[in-house]
Amino acid sequence: MDLRASLHPVDYVDPAVFAAELRHVLRASWLPIGRIDQVPQPGDHLAATVGDEPMLLVRGADGDVRVFANVCPHRGSRVVEDGPGHADVLICPYHRCAFRTDGSLVGAPFADEADLDGACLVALRHVEWKGFVLVNPSGDAPEPFDDLAGLDDHLAPWRWDELVTIATKTFESEWNWKVMVENWIECYHHLGAHRETVEPFWAASAVHLLAPGARPWAAMTVEGIEGTGGPAETWIPGMDATKARDLSVWSAFPLLLGGGTSGHAFWLQIEPLDVTHHRVTWHLLAHPDRMLDAAATDALMEEITMVHVEDMRSCRDVQAGLESGRIPAFRLTRLEAPVADFQRWVAGRLAATV
């Protein structure tokens, strides 16, 4: 097991490094904009900043899902505000240019003499994987399916393709995006940051890493104490009793973070803003045959918020330490092997451009 760190503390505080990551790591990768279930009907759309680019996920009038740059070809305005919405025609708020859900131009007021030839929303390359819509901003990345195939067996008990979103919550973060990813992909910190919330149920000592190594993903399960999974009638359909007590934690590099327990799943949407700021949106998912009522959903979101606030405190402390310049390098333990894998992946992407 290779535990050598490939990044250095300065890589989490240097704006030049962040600029290189935007170009050579994020834009060149497959990034999540949302899930298919978030745009179930024609006209449904979801706008988000992916990497550093405003994008728009749309279910067209023909039923097809498309992803566009959320940029008006007239003068560059954002067409739709971030978040979910519905419209049969997408209308830019700046000059009222109107676009169909296939991206084509309907028209623009007082534009008789303007050159509108080819003035349509720019389509972006995307794929669907496990219910997620992944976008490649650069347009030239290899298809992700072979690289992510090793995750299939791990994700199967949670039936990710069938899950639907039931709640979301966004948090503002004041630390480097990589700190957030690395916090997610190791459960070693359960015994410190979550000593009274998560550790009593899913202890750091019960972590089982899935095939750590040179892969563009990380995954693990944490075996829970007896009864952690709850009654069988609340489990995701087909959940095996041997898996029901497990906490699943995984990531498809660089920005897709996911996990699940016996009756629900969740994923984190990371939106890097600059070298020390990003947004994190938690999405809570359930199976259509095991939907949660409003009270249960609210209770779960309160638990998620409590745990994430603990993570926020830890990540903020880590960022302060990195900015101090007092540690020359990271020293990783066996339970942090996924962090070493992630760092090697990022470093490899950056080195390939030199």
Residues 228 and 332 in one domain: yes
Residues 107 and 232 in one domain: no
Report the alpha-carbon distance of residue 241 to residue 104 in Å, rounded. Answer: 50
**Angle value at C-alpha 126, between 90 and 47, nearest 5 degrees:** 35
Question: Contact 74/108 with Cβ under 8 angstroms?
Answer: yes
**Angle value at C-alpha 251, between 249 and 257, nearest 5 degrees:** 80
Residue bearing the bigger pLDDT, 116 or 184: 184
Question: What secondary structure does DSSP assign to 24-88, as a single string?
Answer: IIITTS-EEEEEGGGS-STTEEEEEEETTEEEEEEE-TTS-EEEEES--TTT---SS-SEEEE-S
Q: 116 CB contacts (<8 Å, ≥6 apart)?
A: 105, 108
Question: Sorting pLDDT into bands at 50, 70 and 90, what band is 352?
Answer: confident
* pLDDT value for 117: 78
What range does the domain containing 117 cover?
A: 38-140
Three-state SS for 203? coil
Model confidence pLDDT, tens digit, residues 9-45: 999 999 999 999 999 999 999 999 999 999 999 999 9
Tell me whether strands 31-35 and 65-69 are parallel, antiparallel or unpaired. unpaired
Residues 129 and 172 in one domain: no
Residues 242 and 111 in one domain: no
Residues 228 and 304 in one domain: yes
Question: Contact 35/283 with Cβ under 8 angstroms?
Answer: yes
pLDDT, mean over the chain: 95
* pLDDT value for 98: 93
Residues 241 and 328 in one domain: yes
Residues 201 and 136 in one domain: no
- Joined together, the tokens standing for residue 327 give 């540690």
| The domain boundary residue, chosen from 79, 114, 140 | 140
pLDDT at 1 exceeding the cut of 80: no
Residues 234 and 163 in one domain: yes
Residues 164 and 269 in one domain: yes
Estimate the share of the chain in helix, then strand, then coil, as percent rounded to the nearest 5.
30, 30, 40
Residues 105 and 159 in one domain: no
Q: What is the CATH number of the domain that holds 10?
A: 3.90.380.10
* Radius of gyration of the chain, Cα coordinates, nearest whole angstrom: 21
What mean pLDDT is predicted for residues 291-304? 96
Residues 330 and 211 in one domain: yes
Three-state SS for 299? helix
Model confidence pLDDT, tens digit, residues 155-198: 999 999 999 999 999 999 999 999 999 999 999 999 999 999 99
Whether the ω angle into residue 254 lies within 30 degrees of 0, i.e. cis, is: yes
Q: What is the CATH number of the domain that holds 67?
A: 2.102.10.10
Beta sheet of 105-107, edge-to-edge order:
89-91, 98-100, 105-107
Residues 103 and 59 in one domain: yes
pLDDT at 5 exceeding the cut of 80: yes
Question: Contact 203/353 with Cβ under 8 angstroms?
Answer: no
* pLDDT value for 2: 79
Model confidence pLDDT, tens digit, residues 238-253: 999 989 999 999 999 9
| The domain boundary residue, chosen from 95, 111, 140 | 140
Torsion sign, CA atoms 327, 330, 333, 339:
positive
User: Residue 324: left if φ>0, alpha if ψ -120 to 50, beta else—which one?
Assistant: alpha
- Name the pTM for this structure: 0.95
Phi, psi of 18 (to 5 degrees): -60, -40
Question: Contact 105/99 with Cβ under 8 angstroms?
Answer: yes
Domain count, the chain: 2
| The domain boundary residue, chosen from 118, 140, 162 | 140
Share of the chain above pLDDT 70, in %: 99
Model confidence pLDDT, tens digit, residues 57-100: 999 999 999 999 999 999 899 999 999 999 999 999 999 999 99
* pLDDT value for 320: 97
* pLDDT value for 319: 98
What mean pLDDT is predicted for residues 136-150? 95
Question: Sorting pLDDT into bands at 50, 70 and 90, what band is 354?
Answer: low
* pLDDT value for 286: 97
The H helix count followed by the E strand count for the chain is 6, 17
